[in-house]
Amino acid sequence: CIDAAAAGRMREEILAARDELDSIGGIVECGIYGLPAGIGDPMFDGIENRIAQIAFGIPAVKGVEFGMGFAVAAMRGSENNDPYRIDAETGEIEVESNNAGGILGGISTGAPVMWRMAVKPTPSIGREQQTVDMDAMENAELSIHGRHDPCIVPRAVPVAEAAAALAIWDALLEDAAQL
């Protein structure tokens, strides 16, 4: 986490969950910079599709969003659209916002590709939990002993980066093969 104060609060939450024999989840945000415009496909091989397919292959991932993600459902098109303009000094085209997360219709826009994945709390916790004894066909309590991670989110950061790198590399290879 690049924000030291936020990192401190995260650490406190993780330690509190550990002390309570519980766990917490969280969100990993990943940015891809320098991807040229025009990479991807408007259908099944789009940038979102490729990243999401790999991200959902990570067992603890329960959600993926790009750009403003679910927040766009509450926006109007005029708020969500990313306006483009020419920079007066450089003469280059630039985007004023990045609500789309650097992807339009599955194709990279040249803006940073921004995506997030939701990571669930670790299910194996030190607290007793309700379950069913299938041999006896009766309610039972489950007690898991051993080491428990109160939060696996920090471990998921390099996994998210690797997922994104694989997806982008795959898209770049396919794009080069079409030339």
Render pLDDT for 82-116 as a digit per residue (tens, 0 to 9): 999 999 999 988 899 999 999 999 999 999 999 99
Tell me whether residue 33 is exposed, middle or buried, using C-beta atoms within 10 angstroms of its C-beta: 0 to 12, 13 to 18, 19 or more: exposed
**Percentage above 90 pLDDT, the chain:** 87
What is the pLDDT, as a whole number, of residue 43? 86
Tell me whether residue 35 is exposed, middle or buried, using C-beta atoms within 10 angstroms of its C-beta: 0 to 12, 13 to 18, 19 or more: buried
The structural domains of the chain, with segments of one domain joined by +, span: 4-177
Q: What is the pLDDT of residues 30-89, one digit of tens each?
A: 999 999 999 999 988 999 999 999 999 999 999 999 999 999 999 999 999 999 999 999
Rounded to the nearest angstrom, the gap between the alpha carbon of residue 87 and the centroid of all alpha carbons in its chain is 31
Mean pLDDT of 149-171: 96
Mean pLDDT of the chain: 94
Label residue 177 by pLDDT band (50, 70, 90).
Answer: confident
Beta strands, E only, 7-105: 26-32, 61-66, 84-86, 93-95, 103-104
Mean pLDDT of 7-18: 96
What is the pLDDT, as a whole number, of residue 175? 85
Rounded to the nearest angstrom, the gap between the alpha carbon of residue 9 and the centroid of all alpha carbons in its chain is 20
Question: Taking 90 as the threshold, does the pLDDT of residue 145 lie above it?
Answer: no
Cα angle 154-100-63, degrees, rounded to a multiple of 5 = 40
What is the pLDDT, as a whole number, of residue 147? 79
Question: Taking 80 as the threshold, does the pLDDT of residue 178 lie above it?
Answer: no
CATH number for 4-177: choose from 3.60.150.10, 1.10.579.10, 2.130.10.10, 3.40.50.300. 3.60.150.10
What is the pLDDT, as a whole number, of residue 13? 97
What is the pLDDT, as a whole number, of residue 179? 62
| Amino acid (1-letter code) at residue 95 | V
What is the pLDDT, as a whole number, of residue 4? 95
Whether 40 and 110 have beta carbons less than 8 Å apart is answered as: no
Rounded to the nearest angstrom, the gap between the alpha carbon of residue 129 and the centroid of all alpha carbons in its chain is 29
What is the pLDDT, as a whole number, of residue 176? 82
